[in-house]
A = this chain, B = another copy of it.
Amino acid sequence: MTPDKQRPLRADAERNRRLIMDTADRLFAERGAVATLNEIAREAGVGVGTVYRRFPDLQALVDTLFTERFTTFLALAAAAEEHADPGQALRHYLLEAAQWRAGDRALDVILAHADLDARPLAGMRDELGRHVDGLVERAVAAGAVREDFASADVYAYLYMVGAVVDRTHDIAPDAWRRYAEVLMVGFGLEQAPTARTSAMTDAQIRLTWPSPSARLPAD
């Protein structure tokens, strides 16, 4: 067993590492697409070598960025479990998770390139799975949701809300709330269709259609 007791990075190296991650993050958010490691280096004001030394390729950088975020995401699930009422707990989680998804501009890019089977991510995925299973089991047992509601529905919900978020970021930042509500009603988690958020206008929807300009935003 090789003792991979890797000592901490030198202060300047750690500083650069952070700078590279923050720059990548900003770049991903600004353009809605990944940037090359060379671009990130230029933008961060460090040499390419410095980037490649720390992140062998784009995948490594993306996975690192995602690992950091995933920690927050896990915390949300843990926090939701605090609720005494199982229905509230699940509702709360679904709303917080969607909000997290909506509040992070770089996240869709990162998700599109992450590798959940890669090392520390796989463990976090499994831990998340346990939290979600718990939330779902309790809510179903309490009759707070359709009796056939399953963990898979939570992930599907996130995929669906994510799809709306990705297309409405810049157009109607709160549009996702309407569909989060619709889904919860559909899942029997909420009774009244209260329509807290109204539908997008035709002009707004128009902007969500596929177009190259929607893919390379600021310049």
Contact = CB atoms under 8 A, between A and B. Distances in A.
User: Range of interface residues on chain A?
Assistant: 35 or more
Interface string A177-219: 0110111111110000101001111101100111111000000
Contact of A155 (B112, B113, B183, B205): B205
Contacts of A167: 159
A150 interface: yes
Contacts of A113: 210
B212 A151 contact: no
Main secondary structure of the interface of A (DSSP, over half): helix
Nearest to A188: B193
A189 to B, nearest CB: 10
A205 B162 contact: no
B146 A195 contact: yes
A210 B148 contact: no
B199 A153 contact: yes
Given A151-B199, A156-B200, 10 more contacts: A111-B210, A113-B210, A116-B209, A146-B193, A152-B199, A159-B164, A160-B160, A160-B163, A182-B183, A183-B183
Contacts of A155: 205, 208
24 contacts: A59-B212, A114-B210, A115-B211, A116-B211, A117-B209, A117-B211, A125-B209, A129-B202, A148-B199, A149-B199, A150-B199, A150-B200, A155-B205, A155-B208, A156-B175, A159-B163, A159-B208, A160-B160, A160-B163, A160-B164, A182-B183, A182-B186, A183-B183, A186-B186
